[in-house]
Amino acid sequence: MNHKFLTMAAISCMTFAALTSCGGKEEVANPFLTAYDTPYEIPPFEQIKPEHYIPALKAGIEQQNAAIDSILNNSETPTFENTILAYEESSEIITKVAMVFYALTESDSSDELIKVAEEFEPMLSQHSDEISMNPRLFERIKYLYDNVDSLGLNIAQQRAVKDYYKSFTRNGALLNDSAKAELKKINTELTTLYQQFNKNLLAATNAFQLVVDSADQLSGIPQSNIDVAAEEAKNAGLEGKWLFTLHAPSRLPLLQYADNRDLRQKMYEGYTSLASSGEYDNAPIINKILQARAKKAALLGFENYGSYMTDNVMAGSIANAEDLLMKIWTPAIARVKEEVAEMQAIVDEEGGNFKIAPWDYYYYAEKVRQKKYNLEESKVREYFPLDSVRKGIFTMAERLYGVTFTEMPDAPKYNPEVVVYDVKDLEGNHVAVFMTDYFPRASKRQGAWMSEFKGSYIDRDGKASRPIIYNVGNFSKPVGDTPSLLTLDEVETMFHEFGHGLHGMLSKAALRSQAGTNVDRDFVELPSQIHEHWALEPELLKVYAHHYKTGEVIPDEMVEKLIAAANHNQGFATTELVGAALLDLQYGKLNPTEDIDVVAFEKKVAEDLNMPAEVQFRYRSPYFKHIFGSDGYASGYYTYLWAEVLDSDGFELFKEKGVFDPETAKSFKENILEMGGSEDPMTLFVRFRGHQPQPEALLRGRGLIK
């Protein structure tokens, strides 16, 4: 804690949670307001209570306000150290409390945390606005920006000055007082709307139950998934039945394997109508978000919100993003027609009197896979128990980057399912803390992600502060004596999120604002997506893919089939992904002043794209959390495809040199993983790859061209 910005009386009072007022008879230490007495400063989760968050946030706001006052009252000419660096050092308490708060609201939420969020998030949003619109602070940053070429700054420092200047202008620093007040109001409104969207989505997800009361209806579904469904039913007071939910480990196996077409339709329609009606209907919230975003873009001088969001990333504009997506879209929908024809042939052969519908796609795609490649994923899963896949990602990291992972069984954790690791280099030096939290629960939102409890940086004395990184997933749960057996999609997801984790763990960027994943949004997916490629590399499969019962190494014949089938169903996978990205960009072009019909808008976008009737957007709008649960990926969902151009092209270098080639791995580590956002991302990529990224690499990688 940076005590010099607080009076000792304030420190004394704010070191306690507000169970009673300061000076009251019962005070409980607030763990956020003292140094963590834990290994590597891991948050002491067992000590943190819901009542600690608001007092700690208020203390952090007071600390940062005092620090900024000190910056503004410094009579010396603005320098990088007394302005940019001092600003980066000003939010220690806020960072500590916010990182824990947002981690737990996403992965281990509760009614108490949801209630806290109603006060916490608007308070933090308003504080951020006060800083970004502070004219005196902006004046100092502008001085540095105007003189950046004559200050003797290194590349990272120059980039930081330019980035801060742009960030402040994008957040209203150039507006007059009236416009600033309006922008603050809009930002607060958006914060509240994002809360409501996410609250509805979690509630709607947990409210859906598909109960099966006859074993005959379960034909085709793998026994491991049936066992999990039976356990879910028992926990819900429905013993003797089977309960399926919308969480991916429950939903996807049913869609992929259930012979009962009506059951598949119920699950599919349950998912695609999620948060679309009743008390959890997100359509009204989406409309309010769109209208607020349009006002914000207009205030800041942009044609629309999409233009605002693409202005400060690699793509630079909606048009550039769309141009890339359409190059992928055309061959993708052409492949869908081929895939549907193959599936329809099987339907006809079996005497089915129906046309392929969206709820048939997973099921018949699996039949085509078995027919073409003699590859049944339920058998493949037996070689991918979660602990073995974990060994795979750790082996990959050790061979590529020279880091090892040792479990810390006694380390603090926010949930008993979390596993904590001490990450060290080959000389035994501490590199990072890494946490995993892999199984679904009602308190966790859907999906998989990476974030941090503590970022990395180098302080003024040259001492490195190392990060605490975590991965969260919703993978297939163990049941009885059977361990968690991952689908191929889950295997790739684990490698993907671990790639994000490596970006955070291996960072050597000096500045907090540039460390780890603090990079352009359309560059951040490069480290995650490139590491997916190792999941099915034969050399690594032999190390980690072992049968969960016998310990047998995955057979060569199965590996050959996996490689042959790697691009199976890529028309569908690409179309639903690109379709969602294009839908997102169409929302970004809107400037609505009144409500739109969300369903009709989606339908119009699909029609304009000539989207195949058998494929739906990867996310329908009411549960498109990426773009409506926050502004993180708004008009930016395309970035997964943008980054895939980079990762596909980059991995072709590894294939050329050798997937574990030391020099190629060293170059990727030094130019991409360690650098964070300290240099222009295209400069870093070209330094690693040797040329500008080539879009054709993505199409080759997905098997859409040769």
Q: What is the DSSP letter of 690?
A: S
**Catalytic site includes residue 594:** no
- Write out the two tokens for 494: 């684990």
Provide CB contacts within 8 A for 621, sequence distance 6+.
282, 283, 286, 583, 587, 598, 601, 602, 628
CB 465 within 8 A of CB 458: yes
What CA–CA distance (Å, rounded) separates 381 from 198? 32
List helix spans (H) across 279-438.
283-299, 305-310, 318-349, 361-373, 377-380, 386-401
- Phi and psi torsions of 273, nearest 5°: -110, 15
Q: Which residue in 482, 468, 483 sits closest to 389, CA to CA?
A: 483
- Measured from the Cβ of residue 122, the count of other Cβ atoms closer than 10 Å reads 16
What CA–CA distance (Å, rounded) separates 405 from 506? 13
Residues facing residue 403 across a β-bridge: 425
CB 257 within 8 A of CB 381: no
Residues facing residue 485 across a β-bridge: 385
SS3 call for 423: strand
Kind of pairing between the strands at 430-437 and 468-472 = parallel
What CA–CA distance (Å, rounded) separates 195 from 207? 18
What CA–CA distance (Å, rounded) separates 499 from 643? 13
- Phi and psi torsions of 300, nearest 5°: -90, 5
CB 431 within 8 A of CB 506: yes
DSSP per position, 105-134? HHHS--HHHHHHHHHHHHHHHHHHHHHHT-
Q: How far is CA 292 from the centre of its chain?
A: 24
What CA–CA distance (Å, rounded) separates 126 from 142? 23
Q: Which residue in 520, 506, 527 sits closest to 464, CA to CA?
A: 506
What CA–CA distance (Å, rounded) separates 90 from 469? 22
Q: What is the DSSP letter of 597?
A: -
Q: Between the CA atoms of 558, 560, 562 and 567, what dihedral angle is there, to the nearest 10 degrees?
A: -160
**Catalytic entry in 497, 532, 537, 614:** 497
Q: How many residues does the chain have?
A: 706
Q: Which residue in 185, 204, 304 sits closest to 625, CA to CA?
A: 204
What CA–CA distance (Å, rounded) separates 240 from 242? 7
CB 642 within 8 A of CB 682: no
- Write out the catalytic residue numbers: 497
